[in-house]
Chains A and B, each alone.
Chain A
Amino acid sequence: EYCVIGAGPGGLQMAYFLEKAARDYLVFEKGYGAGTFYEKYPIHRKLISINKVFTGKTNKEFNFRHDWNSLISHDESLVIPKYSQDFFPPADTLVQYLNDFATKLNLKIQYNSTMHDVMKREDKLFQMWDQHDNVYTCKYVIIATGIAKPNDIKFPGSELTVGYEDLTTAIEPYEGKNVWILGRGNSAYETAQHILGVTNFIAMMAKGRNRLAWATHYVGDLRAVNNDLLDNYQLKSLDGLFEGLLFNLMIKKIDGRSLGDVTVLNLKRSNLTGRIYTLEPGSDRDTIPGGKHLKRFETDPTRRGFDHVIRCLGFKFDDSVFHPSIKLRKSGKLTSTGKYPYISPMYESLDVPHLFFAGTNTHSLDHRKSAGGFIHGYRYTVRTLHRILEWRNHGVQWPAVKFNNPLDLLPNILKRINEASDIYQMFSEICDVIIYDENKISSKYLAGFPCSLVSLLPVVSGHEVKGPVMVLVMEYGKNFSGVGKDVFSENRAAGDPREGHRASLLHPVLYFYKELFTPSDYVKKHRQWILPVPDTLVSLIEEFTTKFDAERTHVLMIRRFIEDSLGVDTRHWFADQCLKISLTTSNIPLGCQQ
Chain B
Amino acid sequence: MFVKLLFAISFCFVICDAEDLSFPQLSDTELNLHKKSSIGYGVFLRHKKDLTEHFSNALSSVLTVTESLNSNGPAVGVLNCNESSDVICEDKEEKLLLFKDGEVVNSVDLDYISTPEDAEFLIVTLLNEDLMLNVTKSEDLHELVQTAAKNKKNIILAISNPGELLHQALLNAALESNGEPIFAYTMDFENPFFTADNGRIKNINGELWVIMCSLAHGEKCPYGQYKATITSNTVPALLRHMQQDSFATIINDNATLNNEIESGLDTGKDIVILTAGKGKLERALKISESLCSINFPFSKCLVVDGQTVQTPVATSEGRIYMSFKTQPDIEQEIMVGYLGSESFGEVEQHYERLNEHRLIYERSLKYRFPLSEERPPSKRKAISLTEINETNEPIVADDEESRFNEPVYVQEIQDDAVMHAVHTNKALKDLYLFDFKSYSRLTDVTYEKVITGSDFAVILFTHEFNPKALAALATFIEIHRTYAGNSPLHRVECFDWPDVCQKAEVTTYPRMFFYRSGNDRTPHEYKGIWMQSEIEAAIRRYSLAWPMVVQKESDLDKISATSEPIVCGIAFTEQGEKVFREAAQVIGGDYQVLLIKKSAVSSIKPMLNNRQWDGKSDLIAVNINTKFLPYKKTFSTVEDVKQIVAKALEKNWVELSVINFQKLMAAPEPLVIQYIDKSAVSRDQLELRQQLEKIANSEKFYGKILFTWMDSTPNTAGNYALHMHSGGEWEGAPIAFFNKKGSVNFKSVTDTKEDITSWLNSCLEGKEKISYKLRNEEWKGRLPGYDLLQIMKDEGTYPVFQPSKVTEEEQEKPKPTGGRFHGGKPTIHAAPAVVTNKPHTEL
Contacts and interface: CB of A to CB of B under 8 A. Distances in A.
Contact of B417 (A403, A500, A556, A577): A577
B788 interface: yes
Interface stretch (B50-58, B493-501, B563-571, B763-771): B493-501
Interface residues of B, number: 92
A58 interface: yes
A511 B816 CA distance: 31
A476 to B, nearest CB: 12
Contacts of A533: 789, 799
A584 B723 CA distance: 10
A583 interface: yes
Nearest to A560: B785
Contact of A495 (B466, B467, B724, B826): B826
Interface stretch (B69-77, B87-95, B657-665): B657-665
B806 interface: yes
Contacts of A403: 507-508
Interface in B754-805: 772, 774-781, 783-789, 791-792, 797, 799-801, 803
Nearest to A404: B508
Interface string A288-320: 000000000000000000000000000000000
A418 B418 CA distance: 22
B531 A575 contact: yes
Contacts of B469: 411
Interface string B825-840: 1110100000000001
A415 B822 CA distance: 23
A586 B776 contact: yes
Contacts of B840: 574
B443 A415 contact: no
A97 to B, nearest CB: 20
A551 B352 CA distance: 24
B416 A500 contact: no
B822 A542 contact: yes
B799 A549 contact: no
B799 A492 contact: no
Sorting the interface of chain A by its residue count into under 10, 10 to 19, 20 to 34 or 35 or more gives 35 or more
A419 interface: yes
A536 B787 contact: yes
Nearest to B429: A551
A380 to B, nearest CB: 16
| B interface, over-half SS | loop
Nearest to A477: B801
B843 interface: yes
Interface stretch (A13-21, A145-153, A371-379, A562-570): A562-570
B724 A584 contact: yes
Nearest to B673: A583
B507 A412 contact: yes
Contacts of A589: 779
B788 A551 contact: no
B785 to A, nearest CB: 3
Given A478-B801, A491-B824, A564-B781, A415 B412 contact: no
B842 interface: yes
Given A559-B416, A576-B842, A490 B800 contact: no
A268 interface: no
Given A490-B815, A580-B720, A58 B843 contact: no
A482 to B, nearest CB: 9
B397 to A, nearest CB: 11
A528 B801 CA distance: 10
B389 to A, nearest CB: 14
A578 B663 CA distance: 13
Interface in A540-594: 541-542, 544, 549, 551-553, 555-557, 559-561, 563-564, 567-587, 589, 591
A499 interface: yes
Contacts of A272: none
B775 A585 contact: yes
A57 interface: yes
A492 B824 contact: yes
A168 interface: no
Contact of B411 (A415, A504, A526, A557): A557
Contacts of B824: 491-496, 499, 502, 541
Given A411-B466, A500-B786, A560-B783, A574 B417 contact: yes
A501 interface: yes
B788 A573 contact: no
A559 B416 CA distance: 10
Given A495-B824, A553-B827, A556-B414, A583 B738 contact: yes
B411 A553 contact: yes
A539 interface: yes
Contacts of B507: 401, 403, 408, 412
Nearest to A497: B411
Contacts of A587: 775-779
Nearest to B505: A401
Interface in A376-403: 401, 403
14 contacts: A59-B496, A401-B507, A478-B800, A479-B800, A497-B786, A533-B789, A534-B789, A551-B423, A567-B779, A568-B779, A574-B358, A580-B349, A585-B345, A585-B775
What 10 A-B pairs are tightest by C-beta distance, nearest first?
A: A493-B823, A560-B785, A572-B418, A495-B826, A414-B465, A575-B658, A575-B842, A492-B823, A495-B824, A411-B466
Interface of A: 57-61, 76, 401, 403, 408, 410-412, 414-415, 418-419, 478-479, 489-502, 504, 526, 528-529, 533-534, 536-539, 541-542, 544, 549, 551-553, 555-557, 559-561, 563-564, 567-587, 589, 591
